[in-house]
Amino acid sequence: MPPKLLKKIRQRFGISAPRMTVKTHVAWYWRILGLIAVLSCSFALAAWIYDAGRRFAGFDRSEAEQALSQLRESAGRLAQETAGLRASVNASESKLQIERAAQAQLGRQVKVLEDENARLKEDLAFFENLIPSEHRDNTLLINRFRVEPGALPGEFRYRLLLLQGGRRDQPFQGNLQLLVTLQQDAKDAIITLPEDGAGQAYKISFKYFQRVEGTFRVAPSARVKMVQVRIFESGSTQARATQSFNLS
């Protein structure tokens, strides 16, 4: 046997040969199961350590969930109570608005009644003063002629009281005429009312007395300075009574 070959055999199988390790073969699925078991134990241990740490720090998950549930129930009850209170407030506001509107309407009615009462008192005082001289002659009198701005631009309201003295066997028949002195565009002008076609609204007919009220319109930019009222008897061009009211 050649010396080289003998040397190789001694190196491989002799005392100086390399050591061998014998391992038991484990199937791959057992390895996976073992890895899963180790990971599960690790996760469980980590969760236990986490819960233990929170309990140690004073935080319990079950107590927190219970407190959160109670807070949600309380929030729900508060929301229901808030909705009920809001509905009550809305109903109260609606009722208050209705009461305010009714109060304002009542105030306007009271104001109208007070004005009417004041006019009636003035009429009574006027008639009482005329009683001693009512049989003197057939005089036509104009009392308390007033002109006031209306609610609309350029609108004016007028009112007056007519009284016929002396014997009143027949009613007075006639018409009313207004002379409106105004200034517009720095120029003075006089408007005669009624205009053509509107004379029927200015007809008057009474036996003892008559209260006359009405409105007339001018240009919104015009400034009314004075209004004169004239009373004409039917068939006559001579005014039976005149009176002026100054607004300037």
Q: 104 burial class (0-12, 13-18, 19+ CB within 10 angstroms)? A: exposed
Other Cβ atoms within 10 Å of 191 Cβ, number = 17
Q: Long-range CB contacts (< 8 A, 24+ apart) of 39-44?
A: none
> Is residue 42's pLDDT more than 90?
no
Strand partners, 164: 140
- Residue 134: predicted pLDDT: 46
Give the pLDDT confidence score for residue 218 in this predicted structure: 93
Q: What is the pLDDT of residue 146?
A: 93
Phi, psi of 11 (to 5 degrees): -65, -30
Q: Quote the Cα angle for 190-195-198, to 5°.
A: 150
CB contact at 8 A, 242 and 228: yes
Identify the structural domains of the chain with CATH numbers, from first to last: 134-246 (2.60.40)
Residue 156, pLDDT > 70, answer: yes
pLDDT value for 87: 86
Q: What DSSP string runs through 92-148?
A: HHHHHHHHHHHHHHHHHHHHHHHHHHHHHHHHHHHHHHHGGGTTS---EEEEEEEEE
Query: Which residues have CB under 8 Å from 171's CB, separation 6+?
Result: 205, 206, 207
Q: Give the span between the Cα atoms of 238 and 232, in whole angstroms.
A: 7
- Model pLDDT, residue 147: 94
Quick check: helix, strand or coil at residue 243?
Answer: strand
Query: Whole-model pTM?
Result: 0.48
pLDDT band at 166 (very low <50, low <70, confident <90, very high): low
pLDDT of residue 95: 86
More confident residue, 7 or 234: 234
Which of 35-49, 99-113, 123-137, 230-244 shows the lowest mean pLDDT across its residues? 123-137
Q: Which residue from 215, 209, 164 is spatially nearest to 194, judged by alpha carbons?
A: 215
Whether residue 226 has pLDDT greater than 60: yes
Asked whether residue 19 carries a pLDDT value surpassing 80, the answer given is no
Using alpha carbons, select from 149, 179, 148, 144 the residue that is nearest to residue 162.
144
Rounded CA-CA distance 184/83 in Å is 61
Answer yes or no: are the C-beta atoms of 164 and 138 closer than 8 Å. Answer: yes
Query: What's the Cα-to-Cα distance from 17 to each of 6, 13, 23, rounded to whole Å?
Result: 13, 5, 19
